[in-house]
Chains A and B, each alone.
Chain A
Amino acid sequence: MYTLNKCLVHSCKNLALSTFDEDGNITDKQNYCLDHIPDPGKVKEQIYNYIKTHDVIVGLNTAGITFADIDLTDKRFYGCNFQHCTFTNLHSNGLRSRMSMFDFAVFSDCTLLNCNMQFTSFGGCTFSHTLFTGSDMVQNNFNGMQSFQSSFDDSDLYNSRFIRARLVNTSFRNCNIKKTMFLDCRQENVSFKMSNTREAVFDRGGSALFQGVDQTGGAVF
């Protein structure tokens, strides 16, 4: 992962978008964020082109950009930043990602089948009608995520975290959820059929009944 440069506008706290040289390769030059860049359309086009023409993408920063109708099949992302991005109608099979940040991104109508994403953060993301079926999602951060009509079926979610997540009509069928944390989750119509729920963590220190104390601190007999 490369250093994430801040926007050139002093008072701005946002991260700068990636810059490209004449050959279309990523450079380390400082740049503006999406809010302050003079020609956002041009940068967006450069980013789209870069993704289209490269299979291995390292250190790309696209914070805040909207991606629509894009095919990411067999693309590999290493140390990329997609914070606050919006992905609509994204399609991929075999996408690979390591150490990338998707925090506060929105995924709508996306199909990410058989992807391999490890040590990646999806904190505060929103997933709507998004499929991660048959994926390897080991040691990922899904804290605070909201998912609606989405599926993680047949996936490996080992050591991932879903702390304070909101799961609505979401399925985790036939998943490996060993050491996966679902603490303080809100669930509506969530299915864990065929998954190893005994190995997952749904409750911080075991239920109050097993601890022998109730919520108010008194003993339970």
Chain B
Amino acid sequence: MKIYFHLNLSGFSNCYVIANEVIKEAVIIDPGQITEEIIDKIESDSYKLTGVFITHNHGSHVHGLKTLRKIYTPKIYAADWEVAGNDTNVITGDGKVRIAGLTVRYMALPGHTADSMVYKIGNVIFTGDTLSAGKIGTTNSKYSEFILRNNIERKIFSQQDATVIMPGHGPPSCVGVEKLFNLDIAHVSEKEAVPVIPLSDK
């Protein structure tokens, strides 16, 4: 498995191309904007685009889908039917999909939006806007925030500490780092997280 990262300059969102080099197939997560670079990557390595996974139906994560569907005929997986109308394979709750020779596990993680989904491929979790480095996703009510925080603790923080987090915006992280240093979900006290070394010891 190889992961290619692409930054969409329009909405500063992250788009990921996950390729299976053995069978030459690929899937895309969050095509916020489809650029020449992404098409070049798929074409130059002769990958067959078999699937598109949407973390949630926000413009900066789905805008490129229109372009993509003009060129390829991938299966589209999302929790919201409106993403691609009748062509959407609507997924709900938790489960897994076998595609491009990869096992894609999905977990519903509402809070940021009602249709928020998190995908796990191998040891990497694609969290969309539910969790980014050091912060949780924005919500529009205290209740949504409570639900989101609860879901993150149950579904993401229960993974191995070394599990890599690839968010929808901002830099990557790993579960171990988020457990210790996430501003919104502080699992340990600051004293434990950042051990104080007396200045005299330098």
In the assembled complex, the CB of B188 is this many whole angstroms from the nearest CB of chain A, namely: 11
Q: Is B193 an interface residue (CB 8 A)?
A: yes
Bound form: Cα–Cα A188–B194 in Å: 14
Q: A1-B3, A144-B177 are in contact. List 19 more A-B contacts (CB 8 A).
A: A1-B1, A1-B124, A6-B123, A63-B162, A79-B2, A99-B3, A101-B174, A121-B172, A123-B173, A123-B174, A123-B181, A139-B170, A140-B171, A143-B133, A146-B197, A159-B12, A159-B171, A161-B134, A164-B193
Which chain B residues lie closer than 8 Å to A149 at the CB level?
Answer: 202
Question: Counting chain A CB atoms within 10 Å of each CB, which of B124, B134, B194, B197 scores highest?
Answer: B134
Task: Judge whether A166 is part of the interface by a CB distance below 8 angstroms.
Answer: yes
Q: Is the CB of A83 within 8 A of B123?
A: no
Q: Is the CB of A141 within 8 A of B161?
A: no
Can you name 19 A-B pairs with beta carbons within 8 Å? A4-B122, A4-B162, A59-B2, A63-B162, A79-B2, A79-B3, A98-B5, A101-B164, A103-B176, A119-B171, A121-B133, A121-B174, A140-B171, A141-B171, A143-B177, A161-B134, A164-B193, A168-B199, A188-B199
- For A188, what are the chain B residues with a Cβ–Cβ distance below 8 Å? 199
**In contact, B177 and A103 (Cβ under 8 angstroms):** yes
Contacts of A99 in B (CB 8 A): 3, 5, 172
Q: Note all chain A residues with C-beta closer than 8 A to B190.
A: 164
Name B134's closest neighbour in chain A (CB-CB). A163
Which listed residue, B123, B171, B174, touches A161 by the CB 8 Å rule?
B171
**Do A123 and B133 touch (CB < 8 A)?**
yes
- The reply to whether the CB of B160 lies closer than 8 angstroms to some CB of chain A is yes
Known contacts A143-B177, A148-B202: A4-B171 contact under CB 8 Å:
no
Residue in contact with B171 in the complex, picked from A160, A168, A184, CB distance below 8 Å: A160
What's the tally of chain B residues with a CB closer than 8 Å to chain A? 33
What's the nearest-Cβ distance from chain B to residue A34, in Å?
13
Q: Chain A residues with Cβ under 8 A from B135's Cβ? A: 163
Taking CB atoms, residues of chain A closer than 8 Å to B162 are: 4, 13-15, 63, 83
Name the residue on B nearest A59 (C-beta). Answer: B2
**Smallest CB gap from B121: residue in A:** A3
Q: How far is the CA of A102 from the CA of B133 in the complex (A)?
A: 14
Structural contact, A141 and B124, CB atoms closer than 8 A: no
Nearest A-chain residue to B186, judged by Cβ: A164
Min CB distance B21 to A, Å, is 9
B133 lies within 8 A of A101 (CB): no
Shortest C-beta distance, A143 to chain B (Å), equals 4
| A48 contacts partner chain B, Cβ-Cβ < 8 Å | no
> In the bound complex, how far is the Cα of B174 from the Cα of A40, in angstroms?
25
**Across the interface, do A186 and B194 meet the contact criterion of CB distance under 8 Å?**
yes
B176 contacts which chain A residues (CB < 8 A)? 103-104, 123-124
